Amino acid sequence: MVQLNLGKAIVEMFKRHKVEYVFGLVGTAVSRLIYELGKDESINYIVTRHEQTAASMADGYARVTGKVGVCQTTAGPGTLNAVLSVADAYKDGSPIILITGQVRSDFIGRDVFDEVDQIAIFKPITKWQQRIMKIEDVPRIISNAFYLARSGRPGPVFLEVPENLWDNSGEVNLNYQIKASRSYVASGMIEEAVDLLLKADSPLILAGAGVMWSEAWEELRILAETLEIPVVTTGNGRGVIPEDHTLSFGMAGSYGGKAAADYALAKADLVLAVGASVSVNTMYFMNNPITGQLIHINMDPTVIGKNYPCRLGIVGDAKLVLSEMLKILKQKRFTKRTASWISELENKRREWVEKWHTQNRSDAVPIKPQRLLTDMREVIPRDAIITIGSGNHHAFAAEYFPVYYPRTQISAFNFAAMAFAFPAALGAKVAKPDKPVICIIGEGDFMMTVQDLETAVREELNVVSVILNNGCYGTPKLFQKAVYGEAYGCDYGNPSLAKLAEVFGACGWTVERPSEIKDTVREALNCGKPAIIDVPIDPNEIIPINLEAHLGLTKLPQKRIV
């Protein structure tokens, strides 16, 4: 037992959970916590210019490390500024802890200055919410927060402390621990799953973010190669298998799905979904549903069979379940039977490339986004981390910027929130300072968090933001034109983003000709500062979209190609 004030007790518990960074914005309701963080040299406190940035930096940090990201706000408006970022983390299953202040305990419920029911607001978008009222509860609550954020399906946790309690002192037992092992169901059901895979003529593996969080990518690859099963991923599963692997057919689903992946999902006679929720996004809002049998492996029992009935539902950690499947396979004799199925998918992939990869070497001005992203991929290291914003550019990036390693693509995929990609890139760079970090983003998205260029400059974060500048909110403009024939409320003016970068103390370039792309990207990666590359792109270029899947045409009977 040690004698501590409440703020110091929280910092000590953070240290026991190996917290290296706290991202936040100061306020009077959390002054003691900031003071204690400032005095402690083992935790770096990074001040941001907006609370939304703080939470998304914690999210980006969590996604590239697999650890829990920690962020802090102050009571009332400061906390509500983080709502969108916490919702991003919740929808994508990213483990963060948001700790904040609250009005004095004797004023709660009296509608005083800065008071709002923060717990009620965050309840739908967090896994757990707690108000810390007694110092002796700090070890238990903090330990539970870290455990719950990372266990099962990861996600955010919300904690608040009334302003008048931070300075309270008392004896605290800092040795509170929660030890829990990852588990899975009895091997009998896993063996049945293996037998179903061996009997299937056109099996498919659908890999989601759960493979990433359990670090099961090696087991996934070995299983796919052993049985020669094609693999497709969800948006958040990109990178669990290299996208140039012969068995990888790319991302399935809306917001960037490829034809071969979508076709495989609809036509497979057996789908093994690992660490994926099998969401309606993946099935194009049920226009492109799974038609074969489904084996669904997930740590979260609530998602199994939620959107599509499954033959087998296995509640368990992806790494442990796949490891058990590989052990069972070693004891069985089997004949690989997927050659014609893979050939069929390869033909689909070839047709897609022939349709959508005609502008990759275009010298046209304004620059084609296809050329921009193709050239970028050729000079950016394979293991670089990329974050992708929300908008039309996301579909271009999903098609023309392949991902080769786990934890190297970050996107607010399931909430599609703007104002995520740039802060997430900053958090990723804090976590991985030796890795190149590139933010692929539209100017509408970027301008929502532009103030934190100052944070990037102050913290010396060499994040390269490549801005696909089309001078408008492109996705709603495309939709309005398609539905109504013309668009309103989507256009705006832009400053010189390269000059704006320089005003902040960052490096800035405007790239107007395709021949300038590669050299500029190389220079930006090596400039040692935050970098902005503003690229005016052709606003009329059509995004690569799988209309067959969107319209449900893959459900029509088709002759198998052998």
pLDDT tops 50 at residue 560 = no
pLDDT tops 90 at residue 74 = yes
Residues 320 and 365 in one domain: no
Angle at 232 between CA 442 and CA 518, to 5 degrees: 40
Q: Which of residues 140, 172, 204 is at a domain's end?
A: 172
Residue 153 CB neighbours (<10 A) = 19
Show the DSSP H helices in 357-489 as ranges: 369-379, 392-400, 421-431, 443-446, 453-458, 474-484
The band of 549, judged by pLDDT with boundaries at 50, 70 and 90, is: confident
The band of 45, judged by pLDDT with boundaries at 50, 70 and 90, is: very high
Q: Which of residues 351, 366, 385 is at a domain's end?
A: 351
Distance in angstroms (rounded) separating the CA atoms of residues 263 and 548: 9
pLDDT tops 60 at residue 411 = yes
Q: What is the mean pLDDT of the chain?
A: 94
Residues 456 and 510 in one domain: yes
Q: Which of residues 317, 351, 385 is at a domain's end?
A: 351
User: Is residue 557 included in any domain, yes or no?
Assistant: no
Residues 374 and 280 in one domain: no
Parallel/antiparallel/unpaired status of strands 21-24 and 44-47? parallel
Tokens of 272: 């093994």
Residues 271 and 247 in one domain: yes
Q: Which of 234, 239, 286 is nearest to 256 (CA)?
A: 234
User: Is residue 182 included in any domain, yes or no?
Assistant: no
The band of 119, judged by pLDDT with boundaries at 50, 70 and 90, is: very high
Q: Report how far apart, in Å, the C-alpha atoms of 102 and of each of 79, 132, 134, 157, 493 are.
A: 9, 10, 14, 16, 40
pLDDT tops 80 at residue 557 = no
Contact at 8 Å (CB) between 407 and 354? Answer: no
User: Is residue 545 included in any domain, yes or no?
Assistant: no
Interval 164-209: pLDDT, tens: 999 999 999 999 988 877 676 666 899 999 999 999 999 999 999 9
Residue 512 CB neighbours (<10 A) = 11
- Nearest 10 degrees: Cα torsion 264, 155, 66, 265: 0
The band of 555, judged by pLDDT with boundaries at 50, 70 and 90, is: low
User: Is residue 180 included in any domain, yes or no?
Assistant: no
User: Is residue 178 included in any domain, yes or no?
Assistant: no
> How many CA atoms are closer than 13 Å to the CA of 193, on its beta-carbon side?
30
- Nearest 10 degrees: Cα torsion 163, 167, 170, 172: 70
Contact at 8 Å (CB) between 303 and 278? Answer: yes
pLDDT at residue 158, rounded to an integer: 98
Residue in this structure with the two tokens 């406190």, named with its chain if needed: 45
Distance in angstroms (rounded) separating the CA atoms of residues 294 and 266: 11
Residues 36 and 154 in one domain: yes
Rounded to a whole number of angstroms, the distance between the first and last alpha carbons of the chain is 71
Q: Which of 150, 155, 180, 140 is nearest to 67 (CA)?
A: 150
Interval 532-542: pLDDT, tens: 999 999 998 98
Lowest mean pLDDT among 61-70, 378-387, 477-486, 487-496: 477-486
Backbone dihedral angles phi then psi of residue 559, each to the nearest 5 degrees: -75, 130
Q: Secondary structure of 271-297 in the HEC alphabet?
A: EEEECCCCCCCCCCCCCCCCCCEEEEE
Instruction: Give the DSSP letter of residue 260.
Output: H
Interval 220-239: pLDDT, tens: 999 999 999 999 999 999 99
In this structure, which amino acid lies at residue 252? Answer: A
Average pLDDT over residues 517-532: 98
pLDDT tops 80 at residue 424 = yes
Residues 469 and 504 in one domain: yes
Contact at 8 Å (CB) between 436 and 380? Answer: yes
Residues 396 and 465 in one domain: yes
Average pLDDT over residues 353-359: 96
pLDDT tops 60 at residue 562 = no
Distance in angstroms (rounded) separating the CA atoms of residues 553 and 548: 5
User: Is residue 547 included in any domain, yes or no?
Assistant: no
Backbone dihedral angles phi then psi of residue 388, each to the nearest 5 degrees: -125, 130
Query: H or E element: which one contains 19?
Result: none
pLDDT tops 90 at residue 88 = yes
Residues 281 and 364 in one domain: no
pLDDT tops 90 at residue 7 = yes
Q: Percentage of the chain with pLDDT > 90?
A: 88
Instruction: Give the DSSP letter of residue 162.
Output: E
Residues 335 and 198 in one domain: yes
Number of domains within the chain? 3
Residues 143 and 10 in one domain: yes
Contact at 8 Å (CB) between 25 and 58? Answer: no
Contact at 8 Å (CB) between 9 and 38? Answer: no
pLDDT at residue 184, rounded to an integer: 66
Residue 491 maps to which CATH number? 3.40.50.970
Distance in angstroms (rounded) separating the CA atoms of residues 476 and 471: 13
The band of 561, judged by pLDDT with boundaries at 50, 70 and 90, is: very low
Parallel/antiparallel/unpaired status of strands 463-469 and 531-536? parallel
Residues 322 and 367 in one domain: no
Sign of CA dihedral 71, 76, 81, 84: positive
Average pLDDT over residues 381-403: 96
Average pLDDT over residues 319-344: 94
Q: Which of 63, 70, 123, 116 is nearest to 93 (CA)?
A: 63
Helices 6-16 and 138-150: angle between axes, nearest 10 degrees: 40
The band of 49, judged by pLDDT with boundaries at 50, 70 and 90, is: very high
Q: Which residue has the higher pLDDT, 306 or 45?
A: 45
User: Is residue 306 included in any domain, yes or no?
Assistant: yes
User: Is residue 562 included in any domain, yes or no?
Assistant: no
Interval 146-169: pLDDT, tens: 999 999 899 999 999 999 999 999
Q: Report how far apart, in Å, the C-alpha atoms of 310 and of each of 136, 191, 305, 390 are.
A: 46, 16, 6, 32
Residues 322 and 379 in one domain: no
| Residue 198 structural domain | 187-351
- Nearest 10 degrees: Cα torsion 51, 57, 58, 64: 170
pLDDT at residue 484, rounded to an integer: 93
Average pLDDT over residues 357-385: 97
Contact at 8 Å (CB) between 426 and 69? Answer: no
